[in-house]
């Protein structure tokens, strides 16, 4: 992580250096078009008017060139058409080549090569290097690069510092501290990543907490039938009894059902997705489950939904088992189609669920006041399965008829 901010910072500085180099090259080689040629022609005319004619004595040309160089503050060298030095205000400058008209950079700094109409060449070099346009441009871009470099450092460092805090939070969470959270700073992608981490951490903490509670409650629920089975086996050794054998079989069936529900709840928590989805006839499925009970009446429309038939069968079975275990007959199962889906109600003549417990009753192994048996995992699985299909399960007591019940809403089949 410490290398990342250096990479970002160096990338910014490298980009600035490249801008400086390219701007310098453009300035040096990219300005030789028609406007520059016109300017050089005009300069040549003006210079030729100030200089003596080509056939003037060398002393005269030297004197005029020296005066001109002093007034302009430059070093000047005058060449003839064959690039031989005629006069120079200081040490002769480099002779221009065939295509050196305009801006060039030679030993000692930048120079201007101006062709005169009479064939002579005048080469000028600024004495004060600070007056050079190229140097001024480079210095300006250098100052800009320095300013951007100084201002970019805290930005790059702040970005990676937030990533370091996020990394520390991930490591803390991985070490087992499920309460680990990171501060969400800003509104950029790193802030979004921190918010996603916090949401994931909350979800992980909830899942682990639910699993811990599930294991704690399941261990308690499993002890009851195991204790009865152990006691029944001891009694069976002392006195064989057909009724005792039947009780043992019922305890084993209860134990098997509880283990099956624990495994199903764990699977739905681990992989909250449906398996094979197909069109399911709720009326036919509910009729098969209702046939397993006495005093159960089915009132149904022909409603078809998309879903996992095994999970939907478990949903209906758990509602019927809950009514048989905690309610009173008769039990009425009603299935009705409605706009956008289906509504399944299971009602009985029991006391119902108190208002304060209507949401808690779907918690695994929740016990109502005065209820020794508890809800186990049955109603929790009903809500899990309903929500997995895009619906929901709620307590829906009917105050008009005085009957208690649960209602499951499921979306309609897609075409």
* SS (HEC) of 6-21: HHHHHHHHHHHHHHHH
Q: Tell me which of 366 and 92 has the higher pLDDT.
A: 92
Return the domain boundaries, the chain: 2-137, 192-270, 278-411
Q: What is the reported pLDDT for 121?
A: 85
- pLDDT 10s digits, 29-38: 654 444 555 6
Q: What is the reported pLDDT for 408?
A: 93
pTM comes to 0.50
Q: What is the reported pLDDT for 1?
A: 44
Can 2-137 and 192-270 be said to share one CATH topology? no
Instruction: Average the pLDDT over each of 92-96, 122-126, 243-247 and give the range with the smallest value.
Output: 243-247
Q: What is the reported pLDDT for 240?
A: 75
- Cα→Cα distances 194→164, 186, 201, Å: 11, 10, 10
Kindly tell me if the per-residue pLDDT of 131 is higher than 50.
no
Instruction: Average the pLDDT over each of 300-314, 340-354, 391-405 and give the range with the smallest value.
Output: 391-405
Q: Tell me which of 145 and 347 has the higher pLDDT.
A: 347
Strands 102-106 and 109-115 turn out to be antiparallel
Q: Tell me which of 12 and 121 has the higher pLDDT.
A: 121
Kindly tell me if the per-residue pLDDT of 70 is higher than 70.
yes
CATH T-level assignment (fold) for domain 278-411: Heat Shock Protein 90 (3.30.565)
Q: Report how far residue 174's alpha carbon sits from residue 24's, in angstroms, rounded to the nearest whole number.
A: 53
The pLDDT of 395-407, averaged and rounded, is 80
Q: ∠ CA 317-323-324 to the nearest 5 degrees?
A: 90
Q: Report how far residue 56's alpha carbon sits from residue 46's, in angstroms, rounded to the nearest whole number.
A: 18
Q: Report how far residue 125's alpha carbon sits from residue 391's, in angstroms, rounded to the nearest whole number.
A: 85
Question: Which neighbouring-strand residues pair with 392?
Answer: 409
Residue 409 sits at φ, ψ, to 5 deg, of -110, 130
Kindly tell me if the per-residue pLDDT of 367 is higher than 50.
yes
Query: What number does CATH give the domain 2-137?
Result: 3.30.450
Q: What is the reported pLDDT for 264?
A: 78
Own/partner pairs for 247-255, CB < 8 Å, 24+ apart?
Answer: 251/225, 252/225, 254/225, 255/222, 255/225, 255/226, 255/229
The pLDDT of 55-74, averaged and rounded, is 84
Own/partner pairs for 284-292, CB < 8 Å, 24+ apart?
Answer: 285/309, 285/312, 285/313, 285/316, 286/316, 286/333, 286/335, 286/344, 288/313, 289/313, 289/316, 289/317, 289/320, 290/320, 290/333, 292/320
- pLDDT 10s digits, 149-198: 676 777 677 777 778 888 888 888 888 787 888 888 777 777 888 888 88
Q: What is the reported pLDDT for 344?
A: 93
The pLDDT of 221-245, averaged and rounded, is 74
Q: Report how far residue 155's alpha carbon sits from residue 14's, in angstroms, rounded to the nearest whole number.
A: 16
CA-based nearest residue to 185, from 205, 169, 202: 169
Asked if 282 contacts 300 with a C-beta cutoff of 8 angstroms, the reply is yes
Q: What is the reported pLDDT for 406?
A: 92
Q: What is the reported pLDDT for 346?
A: 92
- Cα→Cα distances 142→134, 179, 391, 406, Å: 12, 49, 65, 76
Average of per-residue pLDDT values in the chain: 78
Q: Report how far residue 267's alpha carbon sits from residue 279's, in angstroms, rounded to the nearest whole number.
A: 23
Q: Tell me which of 235 and 278 has the higher pLDDT.
A: 278
CATH T-level assignment (fold) for domain 192-270: Helix Hairpins (1.10.287)
The pLDDT of 213-220, averaged and rounded, is 64
The pLDDT of 351-366, averaged and rounded, is 81
130 — pLDDT class (breaks 50, 70, 90): very low
The percentage of residues in the chain with a pLDDT greater than 90, rounded to a whole number, is: 8
- pLDDT 10s digits, 257-290: 777 777 777 777 767 777 778 888 899 999 999 9
Q: What is the reported pLDDT for 104?
A: 66
- Cα→Cα distances 252→188, 207, 262, 313, 326, Å: 57, 29, 15, 22, 21
The pLDDT of 314-321, averaged and rounded, is 90
């Amino acid at each position: 992580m410490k290398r990342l901010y250096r990479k970002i910072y160096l990338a910014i500085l490298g980009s600035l250096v490249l801008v400086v180099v390219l701007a310098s090259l453009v300035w040096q080689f990219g300005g030789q078009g028609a406007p520059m040629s016109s300017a050089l022609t005009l300069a040549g005319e003006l210079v030729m008017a100030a200089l003596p004619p080509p056939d003037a004595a060398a002393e005269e040309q030297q004197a005029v060139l020296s005066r001109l160089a002093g007034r302009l503050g430059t070093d000047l060298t005058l060449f003839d058409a064959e690039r031989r030095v005629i006069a120079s205000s200081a040490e002769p400058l480099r002779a221009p080549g065939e295509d050196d008209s305009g801006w060039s950079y030679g030993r000692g700094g930048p120079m201007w090569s101006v062709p005169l109409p009479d064939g002579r060449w005048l080469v000028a070099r600024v004495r004060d290097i600070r007056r050079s346009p190229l140097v001024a441009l480079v210095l300006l871009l250098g100052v800009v690069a320095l300013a951007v470099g100084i201002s970019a450092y805290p930005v790059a460092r702040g970005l990676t510092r937030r990533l370091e805090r996020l990394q520390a939070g991930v490591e803390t969470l991985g070490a087992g501290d499920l309460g680990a959270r990171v501060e969400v700073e800003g509104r950029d992608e790193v802030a979004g990543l921190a918010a996603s981490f916090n949401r994931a951490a909350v979800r992980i903490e909830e899942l682990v907490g639910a699993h811990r509670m599930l294991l704690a409650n399941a261990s308690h629920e499993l002890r009851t039938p195991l204790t009865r089975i152990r006691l029944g086996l001891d009694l069976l050794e002392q006195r064989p009894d057909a009724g005792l054998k039947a009780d043992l079989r019922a305890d084993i069936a209860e134990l098997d059902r509880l283990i099956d529900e624990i495994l199903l709840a764990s699977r739905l928590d681990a992989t909250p997705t449906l398996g094979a989805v197909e069109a399911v006839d709720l009326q036919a499925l509910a009729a098969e489950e209702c046939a397993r009970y006495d005093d159960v009446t089915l009132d149904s429309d022909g409603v078809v939904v998309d879903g996992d038939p095994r999970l939907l069968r478990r949903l209906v079975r758990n509602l019927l088992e809950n009514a048989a275990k905690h309610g009173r007959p008769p039990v009425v199962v009603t299935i009705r189609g409605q706009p956008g889906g289906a509504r399944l109600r299971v009602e009985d003549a029991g006391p119902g669920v108190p208002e304060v417990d209507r949401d808690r009753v779907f918690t695994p192994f929740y016990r109502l006041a005065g209820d020794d048996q508890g809800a186990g995992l049955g109603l929790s699985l009903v809500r899990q399965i309903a929500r997995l299909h895009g619906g929901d399960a709620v307590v829906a007591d009917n105050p008009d008829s005085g009957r208690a019940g649960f209602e499951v809403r499921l979306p309609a089949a897609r075409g």
